[in-house]
A and B are shown apart, each in its own frame.
Chain A
């Protein structure tokens, strides 16, 4: 019987062991193991992201050039749907039954409790029809999202476009989530961080079917969305629109800068397109069409292409020669056509004449003095020393350097130096080998922006402020570099003879840009012609020359510096110079007096056709 009495201890032991196991288990679940806390958060908490409105962009006069418009996505939470009349719903949303079925299956496979997108970016006018009907379909709801709208339909290349962030973007910056939009080019890309603002997050508690039941921790972890910053650009929308109009049916670019500030007043790349094409549901299709166009409308020719500068480069040569002391402003060189081709003109008696007459032999002889200064006995070594001095001067004009423009680009011009030729020529070289650089041909390359910046340097008599689009960020200051003058290596005193030559180019008979002359405004300009070669099935053809023109105006206290580049337009004085003068007149006076000149430009179609190639 003792044996049986002891059984009470066995029972007491069982009554102790089971609770002990429970305590250990509970301690593990509640204190040690974190998986159940994570699981609980996953089950009971939901975060709702609030998207800030993207910053508005204004032109220099406070006119909206980029704005926002609310579009609506239709989302579905499969678990909350109930006897959906799919035929009526597809009709209402304007989608096919196949699309509906496949999207719904995808949504269910993704999550029954979380929302999935069903229809994207319904414009406000279409949504106003859908909205009053949507309540009949539980589980379906709209998510407002703002998309860009470009009210003036201008400056597509400058403003850029946005599309959905891809894997690389998300990897690079954890701010982005799948489905977010990101600035892909132009100002939208450059000022993405300022424009996008800061997303807000609200944490909610949700019940078993995913409905919100209150704020999480009284909203202590919630963050408010911060509105994107508004930008003012230096662009003058009317000038930009006018430039785009002038450049219709032409290939090329216009860049206009305010010399005193470095502010870019207009940047046109032709052909252009309506920036609203690259917004919303049709972005993909429109982008595809633009990308396939052989005229490359998506390319920003103002920034992303470099050409030999041609004759406009001569202005820089004269300045370097004077600064380096190899010539004075009264230097005269004979028009020795054995050195290079030239047109018939009186002998250039000084720098001003040289610039006005654009005499090729004049500048070849001038630059020879810069490059071959006799600093070494060997003409080869001497040329290398001299060329490097020359290149340093040229680069101080911003050519072939990073101008630090606030635009996503890495295309610069090219200024060949000794190392460049050592690398690219497989024989010893001296100035005679490379003399075409003196007249802006050969290996020298310049972008239209650098060309406009050169015009601004000439207008400023020796310095520039890095060209930029930004005028203010939320009324605040712009970066220091856009307020800092960068001086060239040439003293301002040497500029006057060159500027005089440029004035005469426009205003004197025998000048190459007489078509640019305006009665009211003193324009200083320089034309250029760029030989145009094209390789077609292995054979090199010479096509109609590209023409360019750079100018600033008025001569005293200049307000605008401009470069115009028109492909296949022949001689620079024919099209580029008058076009530039229209821009200058429009900007300074607000109107154009000579409508005949304007119509001549507007009506010109300079886009080369296939015959142009065959003709040459």
Chain B
């Protein structure tokens, strides 16, 4: 029995496990504080959100123990099966009746389950499995070389030559967009970080940064007009960007002409034209997406973030209340159970126990608390990178990066939204936002990682 125990919990990363427990503890205490009702102060009542959260934590621990009794090979072997199962759930959920305009929930007698939370685990496992399999075959080496193209032009061959990867990622993306759930869709784009680490499309991050800059500029000038220099011709903001892109292309062409030897010019010209075309297509794509595809409330959220509209008591109500709650926390915070804005009884900050839970924490714990929380997440993320990098198993490494990327996106978007640096997207802050599905899925992500990591030496044998 003793040997069994030793084997089961041997080589566990206690650091990660500790941060997990600390975050869960702080998270539940914070939900308790945010929904605290002096008339009904019970801690363990299942009628309260914190009571339910404690229950979900118990379920998560149970799942964790089950995972620890599984063999790592079992997890690897059945990765696709699990992925397939979660995809079926995503398809099945589309046949439920919508709640708040989206088909995202399965209801089981008062308990709601969000399959998209579990789909993250499925995608992480499938992606890890797929890259693991390919890394051991010769075919994948050439594939990597192709995908390592140094130009943006390479994005199209990249997608064509990695049909399987595109499928693994694309299927859940399409399914969550059908719900529709833009927040989870954005989370799925976090796997691009994993692909980057695994050697796909080297400039994908640079590409992302440039794309974000161009997108922001395009959105800023969307629906605007300006007078073309020295003339009376009225042009749309969109046309202005394209004019600037033409000018930039001309400048780069001139630079190439002046500084690059003639025989090397040809591929550079080709890249330049390719990049230019992609940029023009992208600008139009963003603009059409913004004006024609986005729903009006999504457009408003973007406009609010970019400062195009200012309406603190109307369209900007949520974010204005959220920022006021956080800002009013000051250096030391107002104290436990003392939030006057992000509190269930005051109701100034909407969704204060779920999407805007960071407000309660920051209002009650102040800058000190916010600093500690951001620090804990940073530690968690870096810990995961360290754990990923110490693996000899490609599966575990890719899986660890998947988990890190998912946590990073949730953290970045949720906190960024609350402090006005990201648009309002309803996704939970891991272990802090109230919600059973997210508590379980984030816990399972961590427990699988712990399990896989604990056997890193076994793989060596």
Contacts and interface: CB of A to CB of B under 8 A. Distances in A.
Interface of A: 3-4, 7-8, 10-12, 14-16, 18-19, 21-23, 25-27, 29-31, 33, 35-37, 39-41, 43-45, 205-209, 213
B340 A205 contact: yes
B341 interface: yes
Contact of A15 (B326, B346, B404, B415): B404
B240 interface: no
A12 B401 CA distance: 11
B325 A40 contact: yes
A365 B416 CA distance: 101
Contacts of B412: 18
Contact of A26 (B202, B325, B347, B374): B374
A19 B345 contact: no
A11 B208 CA distance: 14
B419 to A, nearest CB: 5
B348 interface: yes
20 contacts: A4-B197, A7-B196, A11-B193, A15-B378, A22-B419, A23-B371, A25-B421, A26-B362, A26-B367, A26-B370, A30-B327, A30-B331, A31-B331, A39-B312, A39-B323, A39-B324, A40-B324, A43-B341, A205-B346, A207-B348
B374 A19 contact: yes
Contacts of B328: 36-37, 39-41
Given A19-B378, A25-B421, A11 B320 contact: no
Contacts of B202: 3
Contacts of A3: 202
B329 interface: yes
B371 A207 contact: no
Q: Which 5 A-B pairs have the closest CB atoms?
A: A36-B327, A40-B328, A208-B347, A40-B324, A30-B367
B385 A25 contact: no
Given A22-B419, A26-B419, A208-B347, 11 more contacts: A15-B378, A19-B375, A21-B421, A22-B416, A31-B367, A33-B327, A40-B324, A44-B348, A205-B340, A207-B346, A207-B347
A16 B381 CA distance: 9
Nearest to A34: B327
Given A4-B199, A7-B197, A205-B346, A12 B323 contact: no
Contact of A11 (B341, B362, B385): B385
B377 interface: yes
Given A29-B323, A36-B328, A39-B324, A8 B419 contact: no
B426 interface: no
A30 B333 CA distance: 9
Interface in B388-435: 388-389, 401, 404, 408, 411-412, 415-416, 419, 421
A15 B329 CA distance: 26
A16 B389 contact: no
A30 B366 contact: yes
B293 interface: no
B374 A23 contact: yes
Contacts of A209: 347
A390 B336 CA distance: 83
Interface residues of B, number: 48
A36 B205 contact: no
A8 B389 contact: yes
A11 B421 contact: no
B382 A15 contact: yes
Contact of A30 (B193, B205, B345, B362): B362
Given A7-B196, A8-B385, A26-B370, A43 B348 contact: yes
Contact of A29 (B374, B416, B419): B419
Contacts of B329: 30
B359 to A, nearest CB: 11
Contact of B340 (A16, A27, A44): A44
A40 B348 CA distance: 10
Contacts of A14: 193, 408
B329 to A, nearest CB: 5
Contacts of A23: 370-371, 374
Contacts of B415: 22
Contacts of B421: 21-22, 25
A458 B321 CA distance: 76
B330 interface: yes
A167 B451 CA distance: 75
Indicate the member of A7, A43, A207 with the most B CB atoms within 10 Å.
A43
Contacts of B320: 39
A14 B193 CA distance: 10
Contact of B326 (A35, A36, A206): A36
Contacts of B404: 11, 15
Given A25-B419, A43-B341, A30 B385 contact: no
Nearest to B381: A15
A155 B347 CA distance: 55
Interface in B319-363: 320-321, 323-331, 340-341, 345-348, 362
Contacts of A7: 196-197, 199
B348 A208 contact: yes
B330 A37 contact: yes
A29 B326 contact: yes
B35 to A, nearest CB: 14
Contacts of A22: 374, 415-416, 419, 421
A44 B346 contact: yes
Nearest to B377: A19
A7 B206 CA distance: 13
Nearest to B328: A40
A3 B203 CA distance: 12
* Most A Cβ at <10 Å: residue of B324, B331, B381, B412: B324
Contacts of B327: 29-30, 33, 35-37, 39-40
